[in-house]
Structure 1
Amino acid sequence: MANFDILEDLKWRGAINQETDPEGLRKYLEEHDDFALYCGTDPTGDSLHIGHLIPFMILKRFQLAGYKPVIIIGGGTGSIGDPSGRSTERVLQSEATIHENEEKLTAQMVKLFGTENFKIVNNREWLGKMSLLAFLRDYGKLFQINNMLNKEVVASRLENGISFTEFSYQILQAIDFYILNRDHGVQMQIGGADQWGNITAGIDLIHRLEGQERPAFGLTIPLMLKADGTKFGKSAGGAVWLDPEKTSPYEFYQFWINQDDRDVVKYLKYFTFLSHEEIDELAEKVKTEPWKREAQKRLAEEVTKFVHGEAGLDEAKTITKALFSGNVKSLTTKQVENALAKAPSADSTSEPKNLVDFLVDAKIESSKRQAREDIKNGAIYINGDRVQDVDFVVDPAAAFDGKFVIVRKGKKKYTLVHVK
């Protein structure tokens, strides 16, 4: 049994929305060492994003407290589509795409949870072997249509219509919970607030097949909103992915470091494993010294390290420091590509060109007169060096493997010029 009170910790962090049996869960945790819980994700994409990270942070907390997390990669359920959070039918993917996504998501989970005291299963193992007749006879008979229609996720779709395929999703997810409870000793399912109906359907199925005394619990996480009322998880450029090829560690770090003072303490509680005391100290600094942004820096460091490891965090901090100081010469070509992926960009030939013409052709300056004025005033930097000579010739092959020229105008306005 873990001596750490995980449920009290989750309450302090604002991480509990609904529980099916709070008293029963607490009693079970006090009396048993064998507690296991699960969360699932369908392979509808080749990477998770930080919105997906929300329930998995809870799973990780249970793991750190000594309990056993199980993750379902939904190869079976992912092939038909979860209706949750959607107003229209999901476009089904090919089996090859689903299989490829399964492998990538599995690798991401291993990176987050390690390989000890942790299990990954794929519901294709049991759903893929089940015949239609077995599905209808062994499970479909136990579900009442009127109860299924009352589930919020289904009720919200009735006006626009829902196919039998997506309607049956809650039965498949209930079967998952039953199989994990029966064969893998899993007592609890966790998920987002929109999964409540699916979770309770699973508990009902377990109790029908195994008896009312069978331990089975459900817990959902609150919908996470930003202080401005918008949904957490998106940046100006779209989703913030866990895959470093889709969102670089630098971009990931910047997302967290740019969080609003009104949100940062909530995110420290939710997305880091810092102690209550450390978070309280940082919360006080948000009130007394907000300009130092210490809470945001610590948040960015902790979450980037968790997702991308020490190496990813080091790279993110190296790029951040280089851009802040203007010392971009220290960056590698790959780091430049990551650092300025969202910066204004332009194209240039590989031929050397006078700086004034270069700036005008790249539309960094509106005219040659303005270009000369900014150069003479010391506002123009090429690849990290200030240039005040209007006759300076830009050699695109001089740095970054001849792929880029970095132009900085003023203190912070960077343009990445791609050499063609």
Structure 2
Amino acid sequence: MGRGVGRVFLVGAGPGDPRLLTLRAKTVLASADVVVYDRLIHPNVMDLAPGHARHIYVGKEHGKASARQDDIHAILLEHAKTGADVVRLKGGDPLIFGRGGEEAEFLRAHQIDFEIVPGLSASSAALTYAGIPMTHRHRIQGATIVAGYSGHFPYSWQPHHTWIIMMGLEKVDMLVQEALAQGFPPQLPACAIEWGTWGHQRLVASELAQLPNRVVQERIFSPGVLVWGENASMAREMDWFASRVDYQKRILILTRYPLPFDELLAAREDGAEVLNWSMFWSPQADLEVLKDLTPSTQVWLPEVAFVDPLLQGWTAAGRDVRDLPSLQGPDPVVKSLFRHGVHHVLSVSEIRHDSSLDRTWTLPDQVRDDDPLWRYQLALPFEAVVVGPRTDAHPAWRSPLIAQTFYGPCPRWGIEGPCHSLQALPHEPWALRLRSLWMEGDGA
């Protein structure tokens, strides 16, 4: 490889639930200069990339204008040649109907170093979240995963076998008719899984011959997975995910800066789909300013979101952690610094802190832009919107996208007006947990 040429990471982001993201995927995202990403990525996974990383959307959706594969190849090559580390982020696994093999061949042909990071495919994960074992010692001895976007199903019936059809929901009628013509029993258990592993996952089960009608009746849409085989009937008794107390609840948390990823994951433990929209991307350290700070300099950290940028920026600026400035912050910031091994921190509430200590070591905040992933997610309904402190009065909320999306009545809870606060939510278990999460995570 020539000097100054970057690497490309072909990364599987998993099926949707961000808890299923691999450690390797998180590591390479944290050092990315450019992220080239698809449509079915959980939007908060993008927050794992550094604040300086460039985001390039190349998502494809059937029936709509999308980036061509040749264009995606050109984007990867262009940025790698500048010396950037490029993460090509794909839903599921990059080599299972993800065209990762084509991209790897292209990169090899152009002498670009690459690494393939496997991801958990929806072809297995969606079944698991629906309680359907892909194989079963006493029922199923094999499995076949096929693409269904063409509507063709030229496969012969095999007993004791699982058939998993990806990208086939829009052609379910054609697929089922061809399967029946190939000798598949009309009474064979079958199901369609919509948004597999996401908090708003839905499942429709029926006999194979009735599946197209059930999909239409229940308004099941892409993204989804079709499954048929003797084991599909097990969803009725093994659907563990649907038993979660917050199953199919969608909750949006609005904050100034992204919540710590681990805290966001913790809010999903009982099945809710929790998304965090922040007004700004993660803070970025100004390395030139950090180089001039001394141990006697007093620095105020208002939120946990500032801890990693400070510590990482300090190291990047060539400074020794033993020479950190005198740090102050609310209790959550102090706890976060303690977890990083920084113990000389003064706990000060936001009300009492010295305003002269307000940060000068960060670059100007970057307002979150009009991201396609968020447009896609915000088009779906939410059970509740949680507004964090120091958020709803900020001028950034007056942008057209945010105003159009959030400012208006909330008929679900009978509350009129703009986004309601966490204190206005009913005392359901998930609301109490989110209140606790926000109080602890932001010091409000």
How does the TM-score come out when normalised to structure 1?
Answer: 0.24
**Pair member with larger Rg:** 1
More contact order relative to length (CA 8 Å, sep ≥ 6): 1
The structure that is helix-richer by fraction is 1
